[in-house]
Amino acid sequence: MAVVLMAGWAAFSACGGSTVDEGELQEDPNRRDGGSGTGSTSSGVASSGGGSSSSSASSTSSSSSSSSTTGGTSSSSSSSSSSSSTTGGTSSSSSSSSSSSTTGGTSSSSSSSSSSSSSSSSSSSGGSSGAVTSDPFDGTTYCTARANAECDQANRCDPSIIDWSFGSLARCKSAQRALCLAEDAPFLSALIGQSVIFSQAQYATCMSEITGLACGAAPGLSAACDAMFRGARNQNAGCAASIQCADGLFCSGLATGVTCGSCQPTLNLGSVCTYHSACGPSARCIAATAGATSGTCQALSDLYKPAGQVCNTQNGPACQGYLVCSGATASNPAGTCTAIELLAGGAACSATSDIQRCISGQQCVVPTAGDAAGTCTALPGSGTACDLDRGVFLCADPYYCSAWETNGVTAGTCNARKTAGGSCTAAETAWAGNGYKMGFLACYPDLYCDPDAAGTNYTCTAPQAPAALPACP
């Protein structure tokens, strides 16, 4: 089973509202599977159309952007969502996992694993234990390169996503690196050399390809990204996640409470499925209605469309990459996949346009609430007033607009973001989605606004290293 890059990026969606998420099912149910993705607690910033190559995205939502949530505030990866993090596996002899704490906003603290796992012998047919030959894997190097490549690509294609998700390009890179170190590197380090094979050459090529990926690129992985991690377990072998299975296979039989399955051939298009990896890297598992527990495998080419083709923000198809479903409204969800128009600082902009984006560090501000004509204006700094009704949604990094903390409030002040242990609000969690964090909220973007046991008090919390996968012999 080939793996993917940061699934969190797919969760962010810059499709301008084109969505196929309502009936889109999760990845392997008991874990964040799929390999190198950021997993359920990571933030993300790319497009559900696959702008930064995501093959097993978890519950991808794509809330539209226009002026209020440019680039989409959208959905989040849910806790059992796709992508790779859960410290894994089968007794990781050679790979030691990392510690992970990322104290708010600034440091990406701990180093995750530098696991070299180049043991011998590859797994035999049906076998599930024993070391396999792999290139050495260093979590810090991997997470740094991946964060840089994906943030640069998002910044090139839609800078507003960087501002909304992180506040600045530098913050995007530091936050994504920290989350990767906390959640993904331990998972990968524990599996590489045991049930997963890492290719340094394919990794280097993949990172380069992401940086230069076209903004309207079709979803799915390039050959290099597809080959960066390979499962070593053959058909009928035990597994706890699809990343452990060889090409053309997925971990079948997983369900809530069922932690072990077996590697089986991926399903054909139209087959009944319960999670994405069952359908292989070029398809998704889509349910007919929200809340359904099963769906059918549908081709990515049917779910995401290129520029100039019809899209639908309610029922799909969505748009590829960072294209916007332009012209769609709440009453008429049909639109056309259209490229984003980037505007320089000081340029005239329209608060009602669904394709215009000011460059990073700028937002479209109107003179009076309700006006359409505005100007791309620099994000305000500490102590400055912000006003959601006039388009002053964001503050310059590392500040946030306090209006987002309370439902129904539209005016606030640019306050300093909060580090781990700082207080946050239920309203922010609602804006962010289930576990998905956005840079315009109070907590630094490498932290989560988590409730206490009673669900009454919320605190900015650092991500935790995921639990180990069972051995599943």
Q: Which of 184, 214, 221 is nearest to 53 (CA)?
A: 221
Q: What is the pLDDT of residue 325?
A: 96
Q: Please report which confidence band the pLDDT of residue 87 belongs to, taking 50, 70 and 90 as the band edges.
A: very low
What are the pLDDT digits (tens) for 358-371? 999 999 999 999 99
**Number of CB atoms found within 10 A of residue 253's CB:** 15
**Residue 195 Cα to chain centre, angstroms:** 24
What are the pLDDT digits (tens) for 274-329? 988 899 888 999 888 877 888 999 999 999 999 999 999 988 899 999 999 999 99
Q: Is the pLDDT of residue 128 over 80?
A: no
> Do the Cβ atoms of 193 and 300 come closer than 8 Å?
no
What are the pLDDT digits (tens) for 68-86? 333 332 333 333 333 333 3
Q: Which of 35-49, 114-128, 323-337 has the highest mean pLDDT?
A: 323-337
Residue bearing the bigger pLDDT, 16 or 185: 185
162 residue type, one letter: I
Residue bearing the bigger pLDDT, 12 or 341: 341
Q: Is the pLDDT of residue 351 over 90?
A: yes
Q: What is the pLDDT of residue 196?
A: 96
User: What DSSP string describes 124-135?
Assistant: -TT---S-----
What are the pLDDT digits (tens) for 449-461? 888 888 888 899 8
- Exposed (0-12), middle (13-18) or buried (19+): which is 63, by Cβ within 10 Å? buried
Q: What is the pLDDT of residue 53?
A: 29
Model-level pTM? 0.74
- Over residues 187-206, the mean pLDDT reads 94
Length of the chain counted residue by residue: 473
DSSP state of 181: I
**Helix, strand, coil share (%) of the chain residues, nearest 5:** 20, 20, 60
The sign one gets for the Cα dihedral 239, 245, 249, 255 is positive
Q: Which of 382, 381, 452 is nearest to 421 (CA)?
A: 452
393 residue type, one letter: F
